[in-house]
Chain A
Amino acid sequence: MKLSLGSDLGRGGVFVVGAAIVTAVYLVSAPLLMLVVTAFRGPHDFLPFEPGAEWTLEHLRTIYYDPVLYQVTIPDTLTFVVGSVVCTFVIAFSLAWLVERTDLPWRNVLFTLILFPLLVPTIVLAIAWIYLFGPNAGWVNVALRSLLGFSGDGPLDVFTMPGLIACQSVALVPFVFLLMSATLRTMSPALEEASSTSGASPWTTFRRVTLPVLRPGMLAPLILTALITLEQFEMPLLVGLPARINVFSTRIFYELNPDTGLPIYGRAAAVALPFLVIGLLLLCVYNRLVREADRYVTVTGRGYRPRRLPLGQWRWPAFTAAVGYVGVTGILPAIVLIWISLYGYGMPSLDLLSDASLEAYRTVINDPVFIGATLNTLLVAGASAALVVVLGAVIGWVLARTRMPGRAILDVVSFASVGIPSVIAGLAAMLLYLTLPVALYGTVWVLILTYSYRLAVTTRMSRVGLIQIHTELEEASAMSGGRWLTTLRRVIFPLLAPTLVSGFVLLFIIGVREFTLAMILGSPDNLVLSVLLWRFFEDGSASEASAVASLIILLVVPVIFVLRRLVAPKAEYG
Chain B
Amino acid sequence: MLKVAQLSKSFATADGAQCALSQVEFEIRDGEFFALLGPSGCGKTTTLRCVAGLERPDNGTISIHEQVVADAIQGVHIPAHEREIGMVFQSYAIWPHLNVFENVAYPLRVCRPRLNAVEIDTRVREVLALVSMEEFAERASTVLSGGQQQRVALARALIRQPSLLLLDEPLSNLDTMLRQQMQHELSDLVERVAITTLYVTHDQTEALALADRIAVMRDGAIVQIGTPEELYERPQTSFVASFLGRANLLSGRLTETEDTSVIVLDNDGGRLRLPLLNDSVPGVRYDVVIKPEDVACSRTPPGPDKNVLVGIVERVNFQGSYSECHVRVAGTTIRVRVSSASSVGVSERVWLTINPERCTLFASR
Contacts and interface: CB of A to CB of B under 8 A. Distances in A.
A539 interface: no
B85 interface: yes
B89 interface: yes
A573 B97 CA distance: 8
Interface string B75-104: 001011110111101110101110000000
A478 B110 CA distance: 10
B87 A476 contact: yes
B350 interface: no
Interface stretch (A149-157, A454-462, A467-475): A467-475
B54 A480 contact: no
Nearest to B80: A478
A324 B6 CA distance: 76
B16 to A, nearest CB: 14
Contacts of B85: 479
A480 B107 contact: yes
A470 B91 CA distance: 8
A344 to B, nearest CB: 54
Nearest to A478: B80
Contacts, number: 79
B110 A8 contact: no
Contacts of A490: 106, 109-110
Interface string B29-70: 000000000000000000000001110100000000000000
Contacts of A8: 53, 77, 79-81
A4 B82 CA distance: 18
Interface in A180-218: none
Range for the number of chain A residues in contact with chain B: 20 to 34
B142 interface: yes
B111 interface: yes
Given A480-B156, A491-B95, A573-B142, A472 B89 contact: yes
A482 B110 CA distance: 6
A259 interface: no
Contact of A479 (B81, B91, B111, B142): B81
Contact of B53 (A10, A470, A477, A478): A478
Contacts of B225: none
Interface residues of B, number: 31
A495 interface: yes
Contacts of B240: none
Contacts of B109: 490
A478 B89 CA distance: 12
B95 A473 contact: yes
Nearest to B83: A479
A481 B142 contact: no
B86 to A, nearest CB: 7
Interface in A472-518: 472-473, 475-484, 486, 490-491, 494-495, 497
B45 to A, nearest CB: 11
A475 B81 contact: no
A476 B154 CA distance: 11
Contacts of B91: 470, 472
A141 B202 CA distance: 79
Contacts of B97: 494-495, 497, 573
A475 B93 contact: yes
B335 to A, nearest CB: 36
Contacts of B328: none
A343 B110 CA distance: 62
B160 interface: yes
A476 B156 contact: yes
B216 interface: no
B157 interface: yes
Contacts of B110: 477, 480-483, 486, 490
Given A8-B53, A470-B93, A473-B93, A479 B87 contact: yes
**A8, A481, A486, A490: most-surrounded residue (chain B CB, <10 A):** A481
Contacts of A483: 81, 110
A351 interface: no
A481 B53 CA distance: 11
Nearest to B142: A573
A483 B54 CA distance: 13
Contact of A481 (B56, B93, B107): B107
Contacts of A50: none
Interface string A112-132: 000000000000000000000
A66 interface: no
Nearest to B104: A480
Contact of A495 (B56, B79, B95, B111): B95
Interface in B141-168: 142, 153, 156-157, 160, 166
A483 B107 CA distance: 11
A300 B54 CA distance: 33
A572 interface: yes
Contacts of B106: 477, 480, 482, 490
Contacts of B166: 479
Nearest to B11: A403
B89 A475 contact: yes
Given A8-B80, A478-B54, A480-B160, A495 B89 contact: no
A484 B85 CA distance: 16
A488 to B, nearest CB: 12
Contacts of A476: 87, 89, 93, 95, 153, 156
Contacts of B79: 8, 10, 478
A475 B54 contact: yes
Given A490-B106, A573-B142, A495 B96 contact: yes
A479 B96 contact: no
Given A10-B79, A491-B95, A573-B97, A481 B84 contact: yes
Contacts of B54: 475, 478-479
B153 to A, nearest CB: 8
A497 B97 CA distance: 10
B175 to A, nearest CB: 20
Nearest to B153: A476
Contacts of A482: 81, 106-107, 110
Nearest to A7: B54
A480 B161 CA distance: 11
A490 B156 CA distance: 15
Given A476-B156, A478-B79, 17 more contacts: A4-B56, A8-B81, A470-B91, A472-B89, A472-B90, A475-B87, A476-B93, A476-B153, A479-B54, A479-B85, A479-B157, A480-B107, A481-B107, A481-B110, A486-B110, A495-B95, A572-B142
27 contacts: A8-B53, A8-B79, A8-B81, A470-B91, A472-B91, A472-B93, A475-B54, A475-B87, A476-B95, A476-B156, A477-B81, A478-B80, A479-B157, A480-B106, A480-B107, A480-B110, A481-B107, A482-B106, A482-B107, A482-B110, A490-B106, A490-B110, A491-B95, A494-B95, A495-B96, A495-B97, A573-B97
